[in-house]
Amino acid sequence: MPNLLAMSFEGDLAPSFTLRCLEAGRTLPDGWGLGYYPKGEPSAAVLKEPAPPQTSIRSQLALAWEQVASNLFVLHIRHAMWGARSDANTQPFSRTWGRRDWVMAHAGSLDRKPPDVSGPFEPVGSTDTEAIFCDLLNRCVERGWKNLAEVDLDVMLGWLAETNEVGGLSMCLTDGRDLLIHADRRGVPLWLGTLAPPYDKIAFGDDDLDVDLTRRGAKSRKGAIVCSEQLVPRDGDAERALKWQKLDPGQLMIIREGAVIAERSTGGVLETPRKRWQPAKTESKTFDVVHRTIYKYAKPVERSTHVLRLTPVHDRMQTVRSHELTISVPYQGRDYEDVFGNHVRQIAIESPFSEMVIESRSVVEVLDTDPLGFGPLHVSSTIPLVWMPWQRQILDPFLLPPELPETELADLAEYAMSFVKRNDYELLATLLDINDTIYREFAYQQGTTNLFTTAFDVYVNRRGVCQDFTNLFICLARLLGVPARYVCGYIYTGPKAAELLPHQRQGEASHAWVQLYLPQVGWKGFDPTNGILTQTDHVRVAVGRNYRDATPTSGTIFVGGGGETLSVAVSVEPHVEPKVQVGPPSEPPSESQAEAPIEAQIESQVGPPGEPPSGSPIEAPIEPKAEPQVGSGIEASIEPHAEA
């Protein structure tokens, strides 16, 4: 029988608890208690029953009462070592400090009863657990720590180690937001179960306790379940979605919104997830990029138009050294900059064709070496963000979430807020957490989604490709009031092996990621498919509100066509500068010497896309000399540049 169970979820759940130990013919425990925080309030509700009778009426509340809904639960089944079987001695215990209720439960017993504690908190009953609880709170009061987020975990670990010397100390302590757990070093085990969506039904337990997380409705909630004994799956998806690990003796964890955010152990400080999110500064890189698209049709296309976004972005973080675009069929075209700042080529084709080849070749230098090197901010960096009216007017297209049913948006908003709460409302930490979580908890599976897959579908099913993860991140960010836009481009995944690794397949087609607008910083790239910030391996081509605004090729067939076959090959390789030779110049390398791109199928566009006309990098026109403003005292001159 597990006598300690604690659960933390990334949003509210209403599980049911069946205390089978109270059924007729069973050996009854000395008491049981359930603590939780209704709807995330700082006030705890505690159901207790010392010396429960068989088929207890009160235990039915834990089974069927709909009001038992929270993102934090602490359940304890008592087998008395110290104190009478009374309400005062029945766990979990609750005390108020720092304008919130704290709850503690403990598995195991001390070898001797602790001495009386002094301070504002004193035990009401006679158990060792309540004495430990009051002692910990008094120490927090002495140091002014009003919640677990303020606690120095190294100091806390030292306190618990002292207590562990005189008895078993597998325990949990919560302030309604964070859950602190500690694994005993003297033999009382503690298990951590990690719950990973998607799932339809989750039920687990043993001969004395059953827990059903989905009896009152299934929700895709990530969670952490801590128990003094490993519980077994009952039915549904528990065997697949719930993975258990035994904690090391002396291990301490802080869990918030269903995720471990900090760890300590008697062996020293363990790496926390937040450290993994911080990218190291790197050097700029230059790439040769080839994007080749081939359209084939069962019947000749006689008349069509196409829009191409294949010219990489040229700005302070990315330099286009050269760019050439070729199309295999005659066309008429023009270049322009769309409303999102993308370089676009629109073409019209009047002559019949059954095959069209579009090839873009670019040499691009990427300069975003330190994406988090912007230093301290002088504006609010916490959520919610506040935008000035003129800022909101410009950012509105990137703040509006997709049109989905209200219930689906509500679930996604709750999911987004779980990251905010987990990271103390800090803006950058929240966004990095979302980026890392999508990478770790959502499966990259090609062929499971399409252009019509919504952000909610991805959230529920926890799988997709780069486009789907980007759409989900955009939706979550916009629900939090953070401007987000879709980016289409390329990613370098390292030298190619004979057989491509799974992550390298992303580099053989166009890639997608997110850019988020941070106050006084600007647009910053987040790649949830790989769980990283974009740096010098990402080449940007186009941006927009969504995929349709940034798609590389799109078009419309007016006459002809038929069955369409689309193939796309992308090659991103480090650029090798040509050697400077003394003496007569050598012949330029033949086209066959270039590495052949590897083809990879990507999602088909709406209609057949076309290729932009061949051309060289865009040059700024030479303007006539500007006259100085009369009376300004400032002279300006623009002269044609003469090459040396």
Q: Which of 5-14, 274-283, 423-432, 583-592 has the lowest mean pLDDT?
A: 583-592
- Compute the distance between CA of residue 440 and CA of residue 443 in angstroms, rounded to an integer: 8
Mapping DSSP to helix (H, G, I), strand (E, B) and coil, where does residue 410 land? Answer: helix
Confidence of residue 426 (pLDDT cuts 50, 70, 90): confident
Mapping DSSP to helix (H, G, I), strand (E, B) and coil, where does residue 584 land? Answer: coil
- Compute the distance between CA of residue 124 and CA of residue 140 in angstroms, rounded to an integer: 19
Mean pLDDT of 172-186: 94
DSSP secondary structure code for residue 51 in this structure: S
The matching CATH number, chosen from 3.40.50.2000, 3.10.620.30, 3.40.50.300, 1.10.10.10, for 389-548 is 3.10.620.30
Please state whether the peptide bond connecting residue 589 to the residue before it is cis, i.e. omega within 30 degrees of 0: no
Mean pLDDT of 623-634: 38
Inform me whether the pLDDT recorded for 271 exceeds 60.
no
Q: What b/e readout covers 12-45, taking b as 16+ CB neighbours within 10 angstroms? A: bbbbbbbbebbeeeeeebbbbbbbbbeeeeeebb
Inform me whether the pLDDT recorded for 315 exceeds 80.
yes
Length of the chain: 644
Mapping DSSP to helix (H, G, I), strand (E, B) and coil, where does residue 640 land? Answer: coil
- Statement: 4-270 belongs to CATH 3.30.300.250: no
pLDDT of residue 57: 72
In 14-131, at which residue ranges do the beta strands (DSSP E only) sit?
A: 16-19, 31-36, 45-50, 70-78, 93-96, 101-107
- Compute the distance between CA of residue 167 and CA of residue 185 in angstroms, rounded to an integer: 9
- Compute CA distances 505 → 74, 437, 495, whole Å: 45, 21, 12
pLDDT of residue 21: 85
Which of 210, 97, 91 shows the shortest CA–CA distance to 143?
A: 97
pLDDT of residue 64: 62
pLDDT of residue 499: 58
pLDDT of residue 334: 95
pLDDT of residue 340: 96
Write the DSSP assignment of 276-321 as a string of letters.
HHSPPP---EEEEEEEEEEEEEEEEEEEEEEEE--SPP-BTTEEEE
Q: Determine phi and psi for 569, rounding to 5 degrees.
A: -125, 130
pLDDT of residue 538: 96
Indicate the pairing of strand 202-205 with strand 232-236.
antiparallel
Domains 4-270 and 389-548 share a fold: no
Mean pLDDT of 433-441: 94
Q: Which long-range contacts (CB under 8 A, 24 or more apart) does 469-472 make?
A: 469/438, 469/439, 469/442, 469/528, 469/529, 470/512, 470/513, 470/514, 470/528, 470/529, 471/402, 471/546, 471/547, 472/438, 472/442, 472/528
- Compute the distance between CA of residue 641 and CA of residue 644 in angstroms, rounded to an integer: 9
**pLDDT per residue as tens digits for the range 88-145:** 999 999 999 999 999 999 998 887 777 776 789 999 988 889 999 999 999 999 999 9
Q: Which residues pair with 297 in a beta bridge?
A: 564
Q: Which residues pair with 419 in a beta bridge?
A: none
Write the DSSP assignment of 205-271 as a string of letters.
E-SSEEEETTTT------EEEEESSPPEEEEETHHHHEEEEEPPTT-EEEEETTEEEEEEETTEEPP
Q: In which residue are the tokens 């090798």 written?
A: 576
Mean pLDDT of 390-406: 95
Q: In which residue are the tokens 């966004």 written?
A: 431
Structure tokens at 115: 């001495």
**pLDDT per residue as tens digits for the range 563-594:** 889 999 999 999 998 776 655 555 544 433 33
Orientation angle between helical segments 406-422 and 466-479, nearest 10 degrees = 80
**pLDDT per residue as tens digits for the range 215-257:** 877 677 899 999 999 999 987 889 999 999 999 999 999 999 9
Inform me whether the pLDDT recorded for 8 exceeds 90.
yes
Is residue 293 a contact partner of residue 602, using CB atoms and an 8 Å limit? no
Q: For the chain, what are the domain ranges?
A: 4-270, 389-548
Q: In which residue are the tokens 């608890």 written?
A: 17
- Compute CA distances 499 → 293, 502, 503, 598, whole Å: 23, 9, 12, 12
Residues 55, 59, 63, CA angle at the centre, nearest 5°?
110
Which amino acid does the sequence have at 615? G
In 452-597, at which residue ranges do the beta strands (DSSP E only) sit?
A: 463-464, 484-491, 511-518, 522-527, 532-533, 538-544, 553-560, 564-574
Inform me whether the pLDDT recorded for 185 exceeds 90.
no
- Compute the distance between CA of residue 92 and CA of residue 54 in angstroms, rounded to an integer: 21
User: pTM here?
Assistant: 0.74
Torsion angle of alpha carbons 555, 560, 566, 572, nearest 10°?
Answer: -50
Indicate the pairing of strand 285-308 with strand 318-327.
unpaired
Mapping DSSP to helix (H, G, I), strand (E, B) and coil, where does residue 351 land? Answer: coil
Structure tokens at 79: 């087998």
**pLDDT per residue as tens digits for the range 20-64:** 888 887 888 888 999 999 988 999 999 998 888 877 777 776 666
Q: In which residue are the tokens 């689309």 written?
A: 566
Torsion angle of alpha carbons 343, 348, 353, 354, nearest 10°?
Answer: 50
Write the DSSP assignment of 372-387 as a string of letters.
TTT---SS--BSSP--
- Compute the distance between CA of residue 223 and CA of residue 218 in angstroms, rounded to an integer: 13
Helix H or strand E segment including 421: helix 406-422
Which amino acid does the sequence have at 236? G
